[in-house]
Amino acid sequence: MIKKPFIALILFSLLTSCSSNTIFEEPKDLIPKDSMVLLLKDLVLATTAKGFRNFKQINRFNYVHLVYEKYKIDSLRFKQSNFYYISKVDVYEPMLNEVISLLEDEKSKFKEIKRVKDSIKNDSIEQIKFKNPNKLRKRDKVDFLKRKKISTKSVLKKKLPQ
């Protein structure tokens, strides 16, 4: 008999404690949504870049303060704005989706740039090989001969460089 009211009391307290109103008041210096999206994108890149070495071979460099300088804000303003947007999930979720799409767009742009650079590099290597076939190694010589369709007997009579 005592168990039923006790269980009902526990369920009631759980249900009432789960419905909290965690929407923060809008801060005076709230970062606008479009700026916040760009800021979040740059912060993701900055925190991700932390594990990579930069041009000066410095590892574990913190780039977050550079992002704050770029947008002329301080960490307190960002935290207040971020808490406000987080409390409004229906506003924050589309912002995060936009950040993800921006990052994916940048990734595809960089992949294309890398592909073009690699193709230019490979083309220049191929041009060097065809201009100076005497400087090729044995296996490169065979590839060169296949492309030029020269008989291998005439080339094998010549001394191949090692």
Q: Is 156 a member of any domain?
A: no
Q: Is 37 a member of any domain?
A: yes
Q: Give the pLDDT score at 162.
A: 47
- Residue type at 118? D
Q: Is 67 a member of any domain?
A: yes
Q: Is 53 left (phi over 0), alpha (psi -120 to 50) or beta?
A: beta
Q: What is the tens place of the pLDDT at every residue in 123-154?
A: 666 666 566 555 555 555 555 555 555 444 45
Q: Give the pLDDT score at 82.
A: 93
Q: Is 39 a member of any domain?
A: yes
Sequence-ordered alpha helix ranges (H) in the chain: 3-18, 33-48, 64-70, 75-87, 89-131, 138-148, 152-157
Distance CA 81, CA 87 (A): 10
**Environment class of 112 (CB within 10 Å of its CB; exposed 0-12, middle 13-18, buried 19+):** exposed
Q: What is the tens place of the pLDDT at every residue in 54-67?
A: 666 666 677 888 89
Q: Is 129 a member of any domain?
A: no
Q: Is 40 a member of any domain?
A: yes
* Owning domain of residue 84: 26-112
Number of domains observed in the structure of the chain: 1
Q: Is 108 a member of any domain?
A: yes
Q: Is 57 a member of any domain?
A: yes
Q: Give the pLDDT score at 113.
A: 86
Q: pTM for this structure? A: 0.60
